[in-house]
Amino acid sequence: MSESTAAGTVQGEVVRRDPAEGRGRTAIADTVVAKIAGIATREIVGVYDLGGAGERMVGKVRDVLPGTTADVTQGIDVEVGEKQAAVDVQIIAEYGVAIHQLAAAIRRNVVGAIEGMTGLEVTEVNVTVSDVHLPDADDEVADPARPPRVQ
């Protein structure tokens, strides 16, 4: 069954023409997609940090230098085409989190954010868990209520 509209008809499908079509193009830089993916990944509970050990070390140095900002693309690698994007995410997971559920939540959030903000189709989101953050692993501050173990 063919439907006829002002937009046009092609073998039973309505073809909608964008009035701005043919008046230019939109290019989305890899950095934009990487930032969106980085922010979307960090929104997920159970993600402690992004990147491998080397990237995190550079990030810590960047945090203490005056005039520098945090790199939201740390741990994110993207490949962007004209209509599609693929994303690789490297994370540090919180101990005790179900990693398979964490990865699924990251995928859903990253796909939703990128597709919603850019209109690009996300073909894949690969999640690599490079470490697990243990509670107290970064807490090197001595507890005053706890006596020292050695003198």
The Cα 80–Cα 92 span in angstroms is 24
CATH code of the domain occupying 26-133 = 3.30.70.1350
Tens of pLDDT along 64-76? Answer: 556 655 689 999 9
Q: Which two tokens stand for residue 116?
A: 């919603």
* Claim: this prediction has a pTM higher than 0.75: no
**In this structure, are strands 84-94 and 47-50 parallel, antiparallel, or unpaired?**
antiparallel
Question: Is the pLDDT at 127 greater than 80, yes or no?
Answer: yes
Query: What pLDDT, on the 0 to 100 scale, is given for residue 24?
Result: 85
* Furthest-apart CA atoms within the chain: distance in Å: 88
All structural domains of the chain with their residue ranges: 26-133
Name the DSSP class of 150.
-
Q: With bands split at pLDDT 50, 70 and 90, how would you rate the model's confidence at 52?
A: confident
E strand or H helix at 129: strand 121-133
Of all residues in the chain, the percent with pLDDT exceeding 90 is 57
Read off the pLDDT of each residue in 96-107 and give the average, rounded to a whole number.
98
Give the number of other Cβ atoms within 10 Å of residue 31's Cβ: 13
